[in-house]
Amino acid sequence: MSLGVDTLVLGGNANPFMLMQTCMNLAVACTGDEQAMTARDVLHWATQGAADIMGWGDKTGSITVGKRADLVMISTRNIGMIPVIDPVASVVQSATPADVTNIIANGRLVKRGGVMLGFDMHELAREARQGVHYLLER
């Protein structure tokens, strides 16, 4: 099993936290059982499960010696994350992209203190708008 986003056409949002929350909510809605699925299962499907499905499970997907250093650090200080009783459940059920403070991808720091590094976000936004206008004009 895995969870992931491969297109924005239908969902319009590549928010992995929302995807995990939706998965948990659907399990409860379909079964009527709040224990039908665990947050640990959902987090596994979004990390190691997704890496396995893509054929990258031996390189990424878990914090394991010999694998790439891919880490997402989540602040537990924001109001939506308080109190943290079960860290896994808090990530799956409460975290949002706004809670992500630091990201390390393949051992390289790409987000620090909530700010993406090495990206001009204004230029990226301008290019995205330009691309949309180009597509709409066709």
CB burial of residue 72 (10 Å; 0-12, 13-18, 19+): middle
**Residue 107, C-beta contacts closer than 8 angstroms, at least 6 positions apart:** 68, 69
Domains along the sequence of the chain with CATH = 16-137 (2.30.40)
Per-residue pLDDT of the chain (138 residues; tens, 9 = 90+): 888 877 776 666 788 999 999 999 999 999 999 888 999 999 999 999 999 999 999 999 999 999 998 999 999 999 999 999 999 999 999 999 999 999 999 999 999 999 999 888 899 899 989 999 999 998
User: Global pTM?
Assistant: 0.82
Cβ atoms 128, 118 nearer than 8 A: no
